[in-house]
Structure 1
Amino acid sequence: MRVDPRALRNCLGHFATGVTVVTCEADGAPHGATVNAFTAVSLDPPLVLVSLDRDTKACKYLDDRPFTVNVLREKQDDVALHFAGRPMTEAPAWERPSDDTLAPRLAGSLATIACAPWRSYDGGDHVLYLGEVREFEFHGGDPLVFYLGGFRHLGDVFETVPWLESADCPGLSWFRPS
């Protein structure tokens, strides 16, 4: 059975994600791409994953280079659009990490995760890049959210955290994996 790519994309759009800009340095200049395919992978070693369309310039820039994942704030939709190909009137401000071997980051982001290259993998029409976290910081605020092809804001916070009451929560004292 052949899967219709447009129908699949519409289905996948029902999964809400945060919005990030993955940044790197190439040819002596900072570059970035808006990416919502980002996830934590491991705490030991500390690894994160980003997935980029293999036909984009940004994908070619990431090969064996440090990168920074910039988690955008809810008011940074203009920054997301800038790095998706709709340039802002005034370019976003850049910051250097404390370690000069790491990639530049965007000023004003909700969080930044600076990574050294770990591995890359074939992901069909995308390349999956794993980065080893070397430096990170986070600030208060709400993230920019992407859902059904548009930017959204978070809703109200639930009073309880469901996984803390789960029998599968590794933080519970009685939890011992077999």
Structure 2
Amino acid sequence: MDIREYRNCMGRFATGVTVVTCKTDDGYHGFTANSFTSVSLDPPLVLVSVDRKTKAFEHLSNNSFTINILNEKQEDTAMHFAGRPKEKEPFTWVEGEHTVRLEESLAHIECVPWAEYDGGDHVLFVGEVKNFDYTNGNALTYFSGKFSTLSLGE
């Protein structure tokens, strides 16, 4: 199988854009992710898929994390956490009860560890939702290698 073409195929699925954040003894960390989904309402569980070769994997293992769903004005934030940092950070950290989040996100979902599962070259981290909040606005989306916006259509 041509892995690049497989990746291109998977890119045809439009997704929202999130930044997963956490804190460790050496500071605050985050990474851009679109492999995120709700798993269960009772108990409230979410899942994020993380490449085993990344520092994010090391930071998330057995650690609380926050899913920050980005709004249409946070493309620079998405790029910053995707490995293209800006000289001045285009976001503000906020301390939560269990970990850190990003200010001004469309929504944030703060989780404690629930389970970790083998997912091939990725690990599936399931978190139990402990806190969340959201606001109205347009979502930052990603489709076929490009950012776009999804409007509420009001």
> Distance between the aligned counterparts of 1:140 and 1:64, measured in 2?
32
> Distance between the aligned counterparts of 1:19 and 1:115, measured in 2?
18
Q: How big is the shift at 1:153?
A: 1.2
Structure 2 length normalisation: TM-score? 0.95
> Distance between the aligned counterparts of 2:31 and 2:152, measured in 1?
30
Q: Which residue is 1:71 aligned to?
A: 69
Q: Which residue is 1:116 aligned to?
A: 112
- Which one-letter code corresponds to 2:59 in the other structure? Y
Q: How does 1:1-178 map to 2 (within 5 A)?
A: 3-91=1-89, 92-97=91-96, 99=97, 102-154=98-150, 157=153
Structure 1 length normalisation: TM-score? 0.83
> Distance between the aligned counterparts of 1:112 and 1:21, measured in 2?
9
Structure whose alpha-carbon radius of gyration is higher: 1
Q: Which residue is 1:162 aligned to?
A: none
> Distance between the aligned counterparts of 1:75 and 1:106, measured in 2?
13
* Larger proportion of strand: 2
Fraction of identical pairs, as percent: 54
- Which one-letter code corresponds to 1:73 in the other structure? N
Q: How big is the shift at 1:29?
A: 0.7
Please list every run of 5 or more consecutive structure 2 residues that lacks an aligned counterpart in the other structure. Answer: none
| Structure with larger RCO (C-alpha < 8 A, sep 6+) | 2
Report if the CA contact (8 A) 2:138-2:152 is conserved.
no
